[in-house]
């Protein structure tokens, strides 16, 4: 009977030893791999999502109608007061501006003629009056 206890005890100790050794992590030798450094480019991409909130928002409401010919700014650009944002083509407005320029130039010619007439009047009248005076 005592032999049975001794055999059972030996089997119990042996089983405990095998169980203990199998559960323990075995330390392995660390292997280091070295390579020669090479020059190259590194590309990294970052992405994310979220909400953007603007500091200030302004509504642009032109007083004329027409076709937008060009846009001088992009979305998100910082703009200053007085900066040109876009140009508008309006055929009626262009024609009106040319007509106004022609009227202005004609008015300048009229002023020049009036100045000439004033100078002639101060110097003894017009050439016709001088000719009449010479004939007398």
Q: Report pLDDT digits (tens) over 22-64.
A: 777 666 677 888 988 888 887 888 888 888 777 777 777 778 8
Q: What are phi and psi of 125, to 5 degrees?
A: 95, -170
Confidence band of 88 (pLDDT split at 50, 70, 90): confident
- Our measurement of the distance from residue 24's CA atom to the centroid of its chain's CA atoms, rounded to an integer in Å, reads 62
- Our measurement of the distance from residue 48's CA atom to the centroid of its chain's CA atoms, rounded to an integer in Å, reads 20
The rounded distance, in Å, linking the Cα atoms of 130 and 120 is 10
Q: Choose between 20 and 107: higher pLDDT.
A: 107
Whether 116 shows a pLDDT value over 70: the answer reads: yes
Whether 89 shows a pLDDT value over 80: the answer reads: yes
Q: Choose between 136 and 122: higher pLDDT.
A: 122
């Amino acid at each position: 009977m005592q032999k049975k206890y001794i055999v059972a005890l030996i089997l119990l100790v042996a089983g405990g030893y095998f169980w203990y050794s199998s559960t323990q992590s075995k330390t392995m030798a660390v292997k280091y791999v070295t390579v020669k450094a090479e020059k190259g480019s590194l590309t990294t991409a970052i992405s994310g999502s979220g909400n953007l909130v603007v500091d200030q928002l302004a509504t642009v409401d032109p007083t004329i109608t027409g076709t937008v010919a060009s846009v001088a700014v992009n979305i998100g650009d910082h703009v200053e007061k007085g900066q040109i944002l876009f140009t508008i083509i309006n055929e009626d407005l262009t024609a009106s501006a040319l007509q106004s320029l022609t009227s202005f130039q004609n008015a300048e010619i009229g002023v020049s003629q009036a100045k000439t007439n004033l100078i002639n009047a101060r110097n003894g009248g017009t050439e016709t009056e001088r000719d009449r005076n010479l004939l007398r």
